[in-house]
């Protein structure tokens, strides 16, 4: 079978590799892909939002399965368009991708179906939001309703910051139309865990847990980013936490979507906060996490393609997911200055070290392959260096060792990815 992966980041590189590992796959294409993906799959210069071109390409190449990695095309309905053309595609339809596409929708869903989450109010009027905030307790969290590259969340410590936040989101529209509606949410304290899952509309199978590091700097300082590194599993995600979430969060979410006539097939990513009152949902995403995928997929023993096909066909109940009994850590190598401003176009050296090293992977995020075969930096997040180990400590030591194999001008990384595991 030929597979088409849509997207261009480290997540898509991890998906491409997992697809190539399936005995059922003869060739993988990626649109638009990046410099690293181009060395393993055939990259096609079609953007993730160019639905008509993607459909034509899938027909011409006789693609047996298209996997959508990114949120934007899902929220805009790419799956509906592929299905209408009788093309097999993995991901939620537009009416289900709203689980990620609208925070107001997902909060209302959780409230209606008693799924634990932070208390909240939604506003479409800035004046009403301000009146509410005058009475609120701080800190408090403001969230732009729509997609905002993970940046539409503001944690405000006092009324002054909250007023500035309302201006940023609702008046200045810094996150564009994502800020037409705003959710004001109770601030939760606890450890964050990401749990990704496969869903076939009825059945849900969760993958190994992971933890992201969203802030740019060591010690969780600096601005929010797409994610600077991950580890899997999370030692804080105990069997007891898992049992609670399976019963009160995961299956109820799938059932709620079905009850609303929004059957969800694809990946649900649960962003959880483990609070002193139990696990609560921070957010839902309708796709793999990036860089969560770079630690979770390398640990998965099950054939990803088989699992995805079972989701499409509603046969997931027949499948048990299997993961390696080890740990993985991913350190993101970024361009210095990310996420604010940074230079790109620098040559990357040392990548060949990964070809021979078992248990080490280098996923490309923002890279470009030149005609001479050089790899250049081409984005904020450049590479994700993943290493496995018998346990998290070993995996972390390996990941930081491998992070030194790679050299490029402007290379920046956090040095404390996985440090939290010392407290476990
Ligand atoms: P989100 O995009 O909703 O996951 O939010 C981005 C980040 O903001 C999360 O990963 C949390 O670190 C933080 N955050 C979001 N909502 C809350 C909340 N209600 N309480 C505390 N922190 C939050
Ligand atoms: N790493 C968080 C995300 O993919 O949204």
Q: Which is the closest atom of ligand 1 to the Cα of 185? A: 19
User: Around Cβ 314, how many Cβ atoms within 10 Å?
Assistant: 14
Q: Which is the closest atom of ligand 2 to the Cα of 227? A: 1
Greatest Cα pair distance, the chain, in angstroms, is: 62
Asked if residue 179 has pLDDT above 90, the reply is: no
**How far apart, in whole angstroms, are the C-alpha atoms of residue 14 and residue 22?**
13
Q: How far away, in angstroms, is 128 Cα from ligand 2 center?
A: 31
Q: What is the pLDDT of residues 236-252, one digit of tens each?
A: 999 999 999 999 999 99
Tell me if 154 CB under 6 Å of ligand 1.
Answer: no
Asked if residue 422 has pLDDT above 90, the reply is: no
Residues 337, 344 contacting (CB under 8 angstroms): no
Report the Cα 382 to chain-centroid distance in Å.
16
Q: What is the pLDDT of residue 151?
A: 73
Backbone dihedral angles phi then psi of residue 9, each to the nearest 5 degrees: -110, -170
Q: What is the pLDDT of residue 176?
A: 85
Q: Which ligand is nearest to the CA of 330?
A: 2
How long is the chain?
424
Tell me if 227 CB under 6 Å of ligand 1.
Answer: no
Tell me if 151 CB under 6 Å of ligand 1.
Answer: no
Asked if residue 424 has pLDDT above 80, the reply is: no
Q: How far away, in angstroms, is 377 Cα from ligand 1 center?
A: 29
Asked if residue 235 has pLDDT above 70, the reply is: yes
Q: What is the pLDDT of residues 311-361, one digit of tens each?
A: 999 999 999 999 999 999 999 999 999 999 999 999 999 999 999 999 999
**How far apart, in whole angstroms, are the C-alpha atoms of residue 382 and residue 334?**
5
**How far apart, in whole angstroms, are the C-alpha atoms of residue 293 and residue 281?**
19
**How far apart, in whole angstroms, are the C-alpha atoms of residue 178 and residue 271?**
19
% of the chain surpassing 90 pLDDT: 93
114 to 109, 110, 180, 185, 253: CA distances (angstroms): 8, 6, 26, 16, 10
- DSSP for 4-62? EEEE-SHHHHHHHHHHHTSTT-SEEEEEE--TTGGGTSEE----TT-HHHHHHHHHHTT
pTM of the model: 0.95
Residues 12, 30 contacting (CB under 8 angstroms): yes
Of 267, 313, 305, 259, the residue nearest 286 (C-alpha): 267
Q: How far away, in angstroms, is 270 Cα from ligand 2 center?
A: 10
**How far apart, in whole angstroms, are the C-alpha atoms of residue 210 and residue 225?**
17
Q: What is the pLDDT of residue 98?
A: 97
Q: How far away, in angstroms, is 32 Cα from ligand 1 center?
A: 30
Asked if residue 401 has pLDDT above 80, the reply is: yes
**How far apart, in whole angstroms, are the C-alpha atoms of residue 78 and residue 31?**
13
Q: What is the pLDDT of residue 178?
A: 85
First to last CA, the chain: 43
Residue nearest to ligand 2 atom 3, measured at CA: 289
Q: How far away, in angstroms, is 224 Cα from ligand 2 center?
A: 11
Q: Which ligand is nearest to the CA of 155?
A: 1
Q: How far away, in angstroms, is 232 Cα from ligand 2 center?
A: 14
Q: What is the pLDDT of residues 91-142, one digit of tens each?
A: 999 999 999 999 999 999 999 999 999 999 999 999 999 999 999 999 999 9
Which residues are registered as beta bridge partners of 393? none
Q: What 3-state DSSP class applies to 332?
A: strand
Q: Which ligand is nearest to the CA of 293?
A: 2
Given pLDDT bands bounded at 50, 70 and 90, which one contains residue 368?
very high
Residue nearest to ligand 2 atom 4, measured at CA: 289
Residues 62, 38 contacting (CB under 8 angstroms): no
Given pLDDT bands bounded at 50, 70 and 90, which one contains residue 74?
very high
| Interstrand relation of 153-156 and 182-186 (parallel, antiparallel or unpaired) | unpaired
226 to 58, 229, 249, 332: CA distances (angstroms): 29, 9, 24, 10
Asked if residue 150 has pLDDT above 70, the reply is: no
pLDDT (average), residues 377-384: 97
Q: What is the pLDDT of residue 420?
A: 85
212 to 75, 180, 372: CA distances (angstroms): 23, 28, 35
Q: What is the pLDDT of residues 5-51, one digit of tens each?
A: 999 999 999 999 999 999 999 999 999 999 999 999 999 999 999 99
Q: How far away, in angstroms, is 134 Cα from ligand 2 center?
A: 32
Tell me if 150 CB under 6 Å of ligand 2.
Answer: yes
**How far apart, in whole angstroms, are the C-alpha atoms of residue 316 and residue 306?**
10
Q: What is the pLDDT of residue 257?
A: 98
Tell me if 362 CB under 6 Å of ligand 1.
Answer: no
**How far apart, in whole angstroms, are the C-alpha atoms of residue 85 and residue 77?**
13
**How far apart, in whole angstroms, are the C-alpha atoms of residue 416 and residue 395?**
13
pLDDT (average), residues 262-279: 98
Q: Which is the closest atom of ligand 1 to the Cα of 152? A: 2
pLDDT (average), residues 359-375: 97
Q: Which is the closest atom of ligand 1 to the Cα of 188? A: 20
Q: What is the pLDDT of residue 250?
A: 98
Q: How far away, in angstroms, is 290 Cα from ligand 2 center?
A: 5
| Interstrand relation of 215-217 and 221-224 (parallel, antiparallel or unpaired) | antiparallel
Tell me if 200 CB under 6 Å of ligand 2.
Answer: no
């Amino acid at each position: 079978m030929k597979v088409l992966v849509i997207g261009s980041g480290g997540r898509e590189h991890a998906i491409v590799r997992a697809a190539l590992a399936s005995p059922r796959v003869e060739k993988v294409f990626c649109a638009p892909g990046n410099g690293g993906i181009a060395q393993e799959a055939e990259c096609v210069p079609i953007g993730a939002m160019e639905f008509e071109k993607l459909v034509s390409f899938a027909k011409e190449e006789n693609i047996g399965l298209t996997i959508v990695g990114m949120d934007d095309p899902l929220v805009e309905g790419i799956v509906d368009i592929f299905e209408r053309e009788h093309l097999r595609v993995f991901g939620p339809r537009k009416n289900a991708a709203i689980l990620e596409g609208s925070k107001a929708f997902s909060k209302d869903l959780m409230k209606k179906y008693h799924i634990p989450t932070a208390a909240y109010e939604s506003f479409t009027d800035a004046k009403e939001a301000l009146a509410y905030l005058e009475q609120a307790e701080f800190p408090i969290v403001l969230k732009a309703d729509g997609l905002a590259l993970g940046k539409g969340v503001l944690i405000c410590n006092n009324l002054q910051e909250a007023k500035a936040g309302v201006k940023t989101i609702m008046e200045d529209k810094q996150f564009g139309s994502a800020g037409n509606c705003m959710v004001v949410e109770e601030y939760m304290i606890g450890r964050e865990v990401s749990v990704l899952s496969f869903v076939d509309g009825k059945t849900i199978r969760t993958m190994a847990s992971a933890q992201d590091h969203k802030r740019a700097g060591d010690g969780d300082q600096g601005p929010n980013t797409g994610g600077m590194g991950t580890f899997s599993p999370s030692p804080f995600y105990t069997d007891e936490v898992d049992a609670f979430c399976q019963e009160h969060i995961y299956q109820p979410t799938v059932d709620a979507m079905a009850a609303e006539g929004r059957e969800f097939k694809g990946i649900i990513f649960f962003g959880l906060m483990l609070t002193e009152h139990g696990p609560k949902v921070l957010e839902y995403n309708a796709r793999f996490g990036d860089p969560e995928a770079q630690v979770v997929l390398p640990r998965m023993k099950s054939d990803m393609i088989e699992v995805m096909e079972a989701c499409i066909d509603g046969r997931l109940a027949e499948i048990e997911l299997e993961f390696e009994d080890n740990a993985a850590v991913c350190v993101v190598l970024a361009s210095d200055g990310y996420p604010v401003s940074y230079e790109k176009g620098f040559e990357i050296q040392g990548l060949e070290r990964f070809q021979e090293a078992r248990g080490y992977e280098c996923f490309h995020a923002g890279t470009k392959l030149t005609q001479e075969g050089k790899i250049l930096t081409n984005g904020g997040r450049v590479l994700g260096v993943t290493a496995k180990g018998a346990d998290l400590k070993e995996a972390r030591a390996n990941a930081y060792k491998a992070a030194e194999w790679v050299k490029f001008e402007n290379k920046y990384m956090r040095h404390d990815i996985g440090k939290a595991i010392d407290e476990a």
